[in-house]
Amino acid sequence: MAGKKVLIVYAHQEPRSFNGCLKKVAVETLSKQGCTVTVSDLYAMDFEPRATRNDITGALSNPEVFSYGVEAYEACKKQSLTSDIVEEQKKVQEADLVIFQFPLYWSSVPAILKGWMDRVLCQGFAFDLPGFYDSGFLKHGTLHFCGFKVLAPQISFAPETASEEERKQMVASWAQRLETIWKEVPIPCTRSWYFGQ
C-alpha cells in the first residue's frame, strides 16, 4: 500500500523485548509495502503521561476550579495545548493506520499509553459532544468513542512463558497479518454492540 502513512504508538521500556520485536517487524513489513511508518516510542520520548494544567499554554477558562477536560477542550479550540500534545495529534491526523503496540498490564494498557490517550485524544480533537462513536472525529472502547474504525486486536498470549519457537510463530503471524491488513474489515463497534438494544 504505497503512500499510506502508519503511526505506531509503542509503549514498552525495552527495545529487545517481545513487544519491541513486534514493533520492529511492523516497521519492516509496512515499509516494504511502501508505507511511511512513524513510531511514537513513548518511553524513549519520556512522554509525560499525567494530564495536568501544564498542558495548557494559555490562560485558563476558569482559574478558580481546574477541570482538565474543560480546559483541554478550550485549549484545543484556541490552539494553546503544549507542543508534545499537538505533535502527537498531528501524527494521528496524518495516519491512515494507527497501531498501538503494548504489553497488557492488569488487563489494560500501560500507564504511559493511558496518559497518551488522556492527553492526545482530547475533546475538540478526537471527539466532541455530540460527535462521538460513529460521529467521532477520528472515525473499541476509547478508540471507537473517538471515531476510529477498529480492527480486531492481535494478541500474543504469554510470550514470556512461550518457547522460542512459539514466540517466532507469534511474530510470523503478526508479519503475515500486516501483509493484508489494508483489506481487513473493522469489527462491528455499534452502540448496541457496547450497550445492548
- 184, pLDDT greater than 80: yes
Instruction: Give per-residue pLDDT as tens, 65-113.
Output: 999 999 999 999 999 999 999 999 999 999 999 999 999 888 889 999 9
- Which has the higher per-residue pLDDT, 142 or 68? 68
For residue 105, the cross-strand partners are: 108
Q: Structural domain tally of the chain?
A: 1
Question: What confidence score (pLDDT) does residue 89 get?
Answer: 97
CA–CA separation, 89 and 152 (whole Å): 23
DSSP string for 49-81: ----GGGB-S--S-SSS--HHHHHHHHHHHT-B
Domain enclosing residue 165, as ranges: 5-195
- Other CB atoms closer than 10 Å to residue 168's CB: what's the count? 12
Contact by Cβ (8 Å): 144, 150: yes
CA–CA separation, 26 and 106 (whole Å): 25
CA–CA separation, 157 and 146 (whole Å): 27
- Confidence band (pLDDT; 50, 70, 90) for 187? confident
Question: What confidence score (pLDDT) does residue 134 get?
Answer: 59
Percent of the chain with pLDDT over 70: 88
CATH code of the domain containing 80: 3.40.50.360
- Which has the higher per-residue pLDDT, 83 or 193? 83
